[in-house]
Amino acid sequence: MNAEGRRAGSDFVVDFGAGVTVELVDAVVDLDEFGDVIGIEILGLVATHPGLCSLDHGPSGPRVSVDADADAVYVRFNDGRSLDQVVRTTTVAFDDADRIVAARVRLEE
């Protein structure tokens, strides 16, 4: 496997040559009163991945919205009111068409 790394602002991006690129970014995790995840706001992606403005995930699954002005992608999993928020480093994987194919958020530090 050939891997190539490059600096992207204050992050380091690894491209594994298989059409997948991985970036580390900050995310704001919205939690309900039980500590369950309501949604995740992934920050700092829209400016460097303009194709995200046309995200379409269909009628099922989490609701995804893009706010180009805030440079953020919001993924909502559950309805409810956020009673707590935490900022966490998030790993985001993109395919060769610059679509998000996975994101991993470590909930506990």
Per-residue pLDDT reduced to its tens digit, 39-89:
999 999 888 887 776 555 566 678 888 888 889 999 998 888 899 999 999
Q: From residue 13, give the alpha-carbon distance in Å to each of 28, 56, 104.
A: 20, 25, 15
Domain count, the chain: 1
Closest CA to 21 of 101, 108, 79: 101
Q: What is the pTM of this model?
A: 0.76
- Strands 37-43 and 4-8 come out as unpaired
Host domain of residue 21: 4-105
